[in-house]
């Protein structure tokens, strides 16, 4: 989601620091839906392998000036997350900074609000550790977090390398490859409900239904990352990144019902509902929907994250981030969350990801 919007934003004639020559990279080959015209070139390599990283990136070490890091691998434990994600970033930095002609001068690192909440499997009760709204100067939590390891790695390269950290909320964008893709998951859930005549029930708690949360349009995130890369005052700083508004899920859920063409069902806490259990075995139903509507051939298990959706919609706190620091430093990007939901759903449809 973030990579597509970054590539589009860098190609804008009004992009700060431009004109940009954009290289895209990932472990797998470029997907058919990604506009190759946005890229000067695409490099497929395994960042967890130093030999492969050196082989593929060394020829570019005298050309790359900015690195926009949005890569992520998710493993079973946070210790494993730390190892693989720190290794990937370390390998790329090593290759792009070790050559005599290296030109790399800035890295933008995308993380998220798990910086403040901790990993999904953490034991500490959130109510005892959270400080709201999330602010960039909040002390780190006393638990393992691969975001911390990545930030520390960048700091160890500075100077001469500058960096910026971007802590997004729930990202709204378009992709079939993002590990945590909330909007696409909810869209698939809605399509299956509509196809089978099932109620499109809110898969969360009463607290989440009635309290505030925020989101991040992938375009706003890209805009902030490019701004930080081209703004000297933003060097070596961390910034929250949200749309700048907040909403309640009961309001957004009605809007989603309208967008997806399903009937709104009021929340009823007396009815137990687990979206993970409800969607088990629905892969064949999604296959039918894909065939019926001529969509891109995808597997439900690969493009959805029902466990993450259940987690996010069960927060017992208001998930809101302060954007004050960004504004103080000169970034004023924003988006209307309800409008951007509609925009991205329409784009997902145009890309033939959902019906």
Which H helix or E strand runs over 247? Answer: strand 247-248
Tokens of 18: 């431009």
114 is catalytic: yes
Strand 247-248 relative to strand 41-44, pairing: unpaired
SS3 68: strand
* Contact partners, residue 306, CB within 8 Å, separation at least 6: 185, 189, 203, 275, 276, 279
Which H helix or E strand runs over 84? Answer: helix 78-98
Q: In whole angstroms, how far apart are CA 327 and each of 229, 319, 331?
A: 16, 20, 5
Q: At what angle do helices 182-196 and 337-350 cross, to 10 degrees?
A: 70
**Cβ pair 231, 316 in contact under 8 A:** no
* Contact partners, residue 242, CB within 8 Å, separation at least 6: 168, 169, 214, 215, 216, 220, 320, 321, 323
Cis peptide before 133 (omega within 30 of 0): yes
Which residue among the candidates 114, 194, 235, 250 is catalytic per the annotation? 114
Q: In 197-336, which ranges are continuous DSSP H helix?
A: 206-210, 218-229, 249-260, 275-278, 283-293, 300-303, 306-312, 324-329
Q: Could you give the CA distance from residue 22 to residue 11 in angstroms, rounded to a whole number? A: 8
Which residue among the candidates 116, 147, 163, 180 is catalytic per the annotation? 147
299 is catalytic: no
26 DSSP β-pair partners: 44
Catalytic positions: 114, 147
């Amino acid at each position: 989601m973030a990579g597509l919007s970054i590539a589009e934003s860098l190609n804008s004639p009004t992009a700060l620091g431009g004109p940009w020559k954009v290289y895209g990279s990932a472990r797998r080959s470029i997907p058919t839906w990604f506009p190759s015209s946005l890229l000067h070139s695409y490099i497929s390599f395994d960042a967890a392998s130093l030999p492969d990283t050196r082989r593929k990136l060394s020829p570019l070490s005298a050309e790359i000036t900015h690195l926009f890091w949005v890569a992520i691998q998710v493993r079973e434990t946070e210790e494993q997350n730390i190892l693989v994600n720190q290794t990937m970033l370390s390998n790329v930095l090593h290759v792009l900074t070790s050559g005599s002609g290296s030109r790399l001068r800035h890295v933008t690192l995308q993380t998220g609000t798990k910086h403040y909440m901790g990993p999904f499997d953490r034991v500490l009760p959130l109510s005892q550790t959270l400080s709201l709204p999330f602010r960039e100067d909040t002390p780190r939590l006393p638990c393992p977090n691969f975001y911390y390891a990545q930030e520390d790695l960048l700091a160890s390269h500075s100077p001469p390398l500058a960096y910026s950290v971007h802590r997004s909320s729930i990202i709204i964008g378009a992709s079939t490859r993002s590990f945590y893709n909330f909007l696409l998951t909810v869209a698939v859930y809605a399509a299956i409900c509509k196809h089978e005549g099932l109620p499109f029930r809110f898969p969360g708690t009463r607290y989440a239904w009635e309290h505030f949360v925020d989101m991040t349009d992938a375009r706003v995130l890209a805009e902030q990352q490019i701004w930080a890369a081209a703004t000297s005052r933003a060097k070596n700083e961390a910034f929250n990144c949200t749309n700048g508004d907040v909403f309640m899920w009961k309001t957004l859920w009605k809007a989603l019902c309208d967008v997806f063409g399903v009937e709104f069902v009021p929340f009823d806490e007396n009815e137990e509902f687990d979206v993970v259990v409800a969607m088990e075995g629905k892969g064949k139903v999604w296959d039918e929907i894909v065939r019926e509507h001529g969509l891109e051939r995808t597997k439900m298990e690969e493009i959805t994250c029902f466990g993450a959706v259940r987690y996010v919609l069960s927060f017992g706190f208001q998930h809101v981030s302060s954007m004050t620091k960004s504004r103080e430093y000169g970034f004023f990007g924003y988006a209307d969350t309800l409008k951007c939901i509609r925009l991205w759903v329409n784009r997902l449809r145009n890309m033939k990801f959902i019906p």
